[in-house]
Structure 1
């Protein structure tokens, strides 16, 4: 089985293969971002996946990867430490620089935030750094180890359960944390800094954000995440972070590119699995991008339109556009059209004007709100025109769907 197109591997700090995901917008990326996940998390954590998807919507390309020994990456986690994580970020930059272009934005979640602050000085092309719930001092992570930290120092290593999973941690990991000089490193950053933190973060106290902000020189900004939790488990929190981050980063990376990648063929829509969930799909049409998914109740991530949502959207958009075109031709004072649609399966016998009398049929209810200083006759005519929209006609006519196997690439 071949990997989804955005799954890649590159050599990490130890020379082992690191598993990564490169998410790209349909258009030429306005810039690339490198995302570092939280301690013992992975590139596919909810925060990483949701922030990446939202940044792609804003035109950014995003590379996120599993640190050595985590997720799909090779290597032994026990041999890693904070410094090796920083080295992995530099290795990821080297791959991105060679294959596309170096990241202009560095983003780190939790300990990943401390890691991008440390790696920033080694990534000359990076213009901006954003941290999310990051500790000021990487050694802060020791509190997660509890009493096991004493055992690690006494015995040289110990197995620790973190987030319900066992990890073997060595004394060199603790020694490396203790050797970090965060204040000096942040003071020398010389890059724009954006600090996200929630006052209700129970893993990394917001005082850490204050210390990061105080140590940094301008330009620097702080955004409170209000009621968000440390892992950004609410989609709205991740979307908010991405939206603010994209707007802020635009000052340092320039406007969105207007040119689409490759040759744009009118009427061609491409749908491919995103690799982020059981059903999540990336949809592109020329320079435009959409995401489709199924609700969580049926095993999806609820990260986009359902297939039937898209069907209704096509009919609704076509209806509104057709009414607008007709009103402009007639020079009628149409102000606004709002189309609300619903789809359901009903028993054929319940449909009075349907030819089919057995089994179930599809029923679409379409409600059209026409705003404007229009006469009753004009409104009635617009309602007649609604049935003449091209998508409506397509749905009511015979459709030939031809399916073939794509040629191997």
Structure 2
């Protein structure tokens, strides 16, 4: 049975069926139909060529630069650890040898003094001569044995396990996994947290706790001071820094001993962060302190010299020569995020958050080396910002969020009203 062409104005017999759209067409209309598809193919060709050019232009060195920098820093730190260990063992060896030499030197000096005294007083006996002679001979025999001392140094190969460094490819954050661990928060404990990638410092029930990724308590110590506002880690000092409303404290990692830092600057502190050389504190402006040789005031950075309304810098975070600021504008009742250069304090970008205004603090957290997570205290969501200050998405959460902190490369710690949740990324 013959079918006519499916073009409504055509009565010709259909000779060909298009395998793409299943239309039965006459020869003339099939040719037209084929020509209609070709521009679409040409369009797709342009798109794939453009995509290929984009792919070819990717500079993977730029993508890997932060990770390579961290690996280089780890290598330098490892060299320093090995050099320090080597120096300690050399000191231990020298100490052992010097103890032997010092003993014989003392014995020689004692005999010299005895002989000099006898010569001075011109009084001795044959018994004294024999005794001194015997002592000298014994000492001579002992000193002759020094060159035969055998020093045994047992050296085991330095074993570096592959898991010492984890390389994880972190994709865009769209949804958090279920917490793999949870700690119950004690009421009146501080929300603030800080880490050095190996250990996490938290405050619970008027105590400081240093814990590892498995939540094992490494050490703890009492906190006898005011309510903690924020805390951060200083690599150059190898310690944690804690701020209260008016004071700064240094916490040694090996003991958790707390030492107050005396400064001439007395302000109401909101947040803290460290670069390689400086400590930065926030209130209505940013205050910079040197870390070495001692913590001393350097200068203040004001966001706007002509500002005539009240603003509070709730949170600051350092990354790669830049500071991110979470700003609560109490006059205009607006919340926005800024990224500024450390060297000039120039603003690189500003992102206004379209969230319901409140007096609660806003906190920012570095995520995946160059992007940012923003927590609105008391809300049920996180805001995910790209490195150029664009809102990528909003992540819903199960509880009211009070503080967020990325622990290592693959863990996100979130403090809520009653719990501290540990998420794997």
TM norm structure 2: 0.22
Normalized per residue, which structure has more strand? 2
- Structure showing greater relative contact order (alpha-carbon pairs closer than 8 Å, 6 or more residues apart): 1
Normalized per residue, which structure has more helix? 1
Larger Rg: 2
